[in-house]
């Protein structure tokens, strides 16, 4: 008796069940087949558009399980998919007929408060890390949705509320343990396998499977000055013009992002505004509260806000503020552009698009990145865009598959119309599966990445990713 798998060459391979039994016996974790009760849970991703069926799933518990799985896939020429948090928009973490290596159960975190470091396994979510590090008044720059996986976020770059003060997630990655295509577990840091260390800080999952990350931590919290300011969309043009000027002068501690969408039914937004188009400023000051109040005065004085809920909030709680709008299971499609300047043309195009949203859950998100991340050389990591810039993420979100074409077309159209004003770079973690802008994602660093890929993964075994 055999099981059918998809091969690296695109065909299929029959694997005797005896081989699978041997793998199952060797694992500390589980080997899950299509008939097992945990199969659907193990293959499900955050993005509800992704509905794929791997042949077998290895639910790993340690680095040895990862090595066994990588070796099994390599020795049998099988397609291998890697899932950690399962939050990536592109859905590369699962493939039909593949061996799926599920890292979601590897969630151990060790915080060394004296050294201000954390060792984090790849199944951890942002909320797991925040909870562990905030117990010591420390944090590492991460993203803004607490259900995001740390592994995928880090391997693609990683930015969040304290990036201006402390840099990107990859700027705080001290070392990693990586299982490479040959099954060897390697330490990657500034002194050991330094080329691999360079590559995984933004180069995605192209080089191996990380079984452990070591991050530098920074004092923050337990409370930060943070919150939302909601304005009518009718005032958005002048507000966004003022916003870009405020961002240009903002201290490292101050991060301000914007969202344009229909107002959700949040308790602090007057009911008469629910479902109407609004501009939302989301702000966080990673420093002294009194200094933060002064730094936010100009933003808070703009226009006639519908609501202003800026105030002291627990840092870990603020990291979860957008979770209710980003729950798992909905259909999601993103398009993204970077801008060195938020021009009037980009503002006008964006505002016109907000007035024609394809679904009430769709939105335009604009983040400003500056501060510490700009003081890292563009060639120091694969992440190429180290100038102050704005990141636009056109985020469509809906439930009915019949609306797929409408929602996807809206996102693509807005991205296309704003592309002429873009910086020519794009954040790899915001790229959907049909976005092939690898040269834009890595700029002049892409050739070095490809050379390192050829060293550690010459047969492109790790291909289910934004592949270089």
Q: Give the mean model confidence (pLDDT) for residues 144-151.
A: 95
Please give the pLDDT value at position 253: 98
Classify domain 223-439 by CATH number.
3.40.462.20
Please give the pLDDT value at position 325: 86
Q: Closest Cα partner for 262 from 246, 248, 242, 278?
A: 278
Residues 104-120 have pLDDT tens digits of: 999 999 999 999 999 99
Q: Closest Cα partner for 120 from 139, 99, 106?
A: 106
Give percent of the chain above pLDDT 70: 100
At a CB cut-off of 8 Å and minimum separation 6, what does 134 contact?
Answer: 221, 222, 314, 315, 316
pLDDT band at 361 (very low <50, low <70, confident <90, very high): very high
- Rounded CA gap, 374 and 343, in Å? 21
Q: Are 54 and 99 in contact (CB under 8 A)?
A: yes
Residues 388-431 have pLDDT tens digits of: 999 999 999 999 999 999 999 999 999 999 999 999 999 999 99
- Rounded CA gap, 107 and 246, in Å? 39
Tell me how far CA of residue 72 lies from CA of 7, 25, 57, 186, 344, in angstroms: 12, 13, 12, 18, 54
Please give the pLDDT value at position 298: 97
Taking the CB of residue 341, how many other CB atoms lie within 10 A of it? 13
Whether this prediction's pTM lies above 0.75 is answered by yes
Residues 279-331 have pLDDT tens digits of: 999 999 999 999 999 999 999 999 999 999 999 999 999 999 989 888 999 99
CA dihedral 377, 379, 385, 388 (to 10 degrees): 10
Residue 95 has pLDDT above 90, yes or no: yes
Residues 164-185 have pLDDT tens digits of: 999 999 999 999 999 999 999 9
Please give the pLDDT value at position 460: 97
Please give the pLDDT value at position 274: 97
Please give the pLDDT value at position 255: 98
Please give the pLDDT value at position 339: 98
Range(s) within the chain of domains with CATH label 3.40.462.20: 223-439
Please give the pLDDT value at position 338: 98
Fold of 109-219+445-456: 3.30.465
Range(s) within the chain of domains with CATH label 3.30.465.10: 109-219+445-456
Buried b (16+ CB within 10 A) or exposed e, 274-292: eeebbbbbbbbbbbeeeeb
CA dihedral sign, ordered 74, 75, 77, 83:
negative
pLDDT band at 26 (very low <50, low <70, confident <90, very high): very high
Instruction: Give the strands of the sheet with 109-112, arranged side by side.
Output: 109-112, 117-120, 209-216, 173-179, 185-188
Residues 217-246 have pLDDT tens digits of: 999 989 999 999 999 999 999 999 999 999
Residues 4-16 have pLDDT tens digits of: 999 999 999 999 9
Q: Give the mean model confidence (pLDDT) for residues 436-459.
A: 97
Architecture of domain 2-102: 2-Layer Sandwich (3.30)
The 3-class SS string of the chain reads CEEEEEECCCCEEEEEHHHHHHHHHHCCCEEECCCCCCHHHHHCCCCCCCCCCCCEEEECCCHHHHHHHHHHHHHCCECEEEECCCCCCCCCCCCCCCEEEECCCCCCEEEECCCCEEEECCCCEHHHHHHHHHCCCEECCCCCCCCCEHHHHHHHCCCCCCHHHHCCCHHHEEEEEEECCCCCEEEECCCCCHHHHHHHCCCCCCCCEEEEEEEECEECCCEEEEEEEEEEHHHHHHHHHHHHHHHHHCCCCEEEEEEEEECCCCCCCCHHHCCCEEEEEEEEECCCHHHHHHHHHHHHCCCCCCEECCEEEEHHHHCCCCHHHCCCCCEEEEEEEEECCCCHHHHHHHHHHHCCCCCCCCEEEEEEECHHHHHCCCCCCCCCCCCCEEEEEEEEEECCHHHHHHHHHHHHHHHHHHHHHCCCCCCHHHCCCCCCCHHHHHHHHHHHHHHHHHHHCCCCCCCCCCCC
Tell me how far CA of residue 159 lies from CA of 231, 273, 306, 310, in angstroms: 25, 31, 28, 21
C-alpha neighbours within 13 Å on the C-beta side of residue 297: 5
Range(s) within the chain of domains with CATH label 3.30.43.10: 2-102
Taking the CB of residue 18, how many other CB atoms lie within 10 A of it? 10
């Amino acid at each position: 008796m055999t099981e059918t798998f998809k091969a690296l060459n695109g065909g299929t391979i029959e694997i005797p069940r005896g081989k699978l039994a041997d793998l199952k016996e060797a694992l500390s974790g589980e080997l899950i087949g299509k008939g097992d009760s945990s199969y659907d849970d193990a293959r499900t991703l955050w993005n509800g558009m992704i509905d794929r069926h791997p042949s077998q799933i290895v639910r790993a518990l340690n680095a040895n399980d990862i090595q066994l799985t990588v070796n099994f896939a390599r020795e049998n020429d099988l397609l291998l998919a890697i899932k950690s948090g399962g939050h990536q928009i592109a859905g590369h973490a699962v493939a039909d007929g593949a061996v799926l290596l599920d890292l979601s159960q590897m969630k151990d975190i060790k915080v060394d408060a004296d050294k201000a470091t954390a060792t984090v396994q790849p199944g951890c979510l942002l909320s797991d890390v925040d909870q562990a590090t905030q117990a010591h008044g420390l944090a590492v720059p991460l993203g803004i949705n607490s259900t995001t996986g740390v592994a995928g976020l880090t391997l693609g770059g990683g930015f969040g509320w304290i990036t201006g003060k402390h840099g990107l997630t990859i700027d705080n990655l001290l070392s990693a343990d990586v299982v490479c295509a040959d099954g060897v577990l390697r330490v990657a840091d500034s002194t050991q396998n330094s080329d691999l260390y360079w590559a995984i800080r933004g180069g995605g999952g192209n080089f191996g499977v990380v079984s452990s990350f070591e991050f530098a931590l920074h004092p923050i919290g337990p409370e930060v000055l943070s919150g939302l300011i909601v304005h009518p969309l009718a005032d958005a043009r002048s507000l966004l013009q003022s916003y870009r000027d405020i961002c240009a002068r903002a201290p490292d501690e101050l991060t301000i992002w914007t969202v344009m969408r229909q107002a959700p039914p949040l308790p602090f937004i007057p009911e008469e505004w629910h479902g109407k188009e609004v501009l939302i400023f989301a702000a966080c000051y990673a420093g002294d509260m009194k200094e933060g109040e002064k730094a936010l005065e100009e933003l808070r004085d703009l226009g006639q806000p519908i609501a202003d809920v800026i105030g002291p909030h627990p840092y870990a709680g603020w990291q979860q503020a957008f979770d209710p709008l980003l729950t798992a299971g909905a259909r999601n499609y993103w398009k993204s552009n970077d801008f060195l300047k938020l021009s009037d043309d980009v503002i006008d195009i964006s505002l016109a698009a907000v007035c024609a949203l394809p679904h009430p859950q769709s939105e335009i998100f604009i983040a400003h990145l500056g501060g510490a991340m700009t003081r890292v050389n563009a060639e120091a990591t694969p992440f190429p865009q180290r100038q102050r810039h704005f990141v636009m993420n056109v985020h469509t979100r809906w439930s009915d598959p019949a609306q797929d074409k409408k929602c996807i077309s809206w996102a693509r159209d807005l991205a296309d119309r704003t592309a002429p004003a873009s910086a020519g770079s794009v954040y790899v973690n915001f790229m959907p599966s049909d976005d092939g802008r690898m040269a834009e994602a890595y700029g002049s660093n892409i050739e070095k990445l490809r050379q390192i890929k050829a060293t550690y993964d010459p047969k492109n075994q790790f291909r289910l990713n934004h592949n270089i």
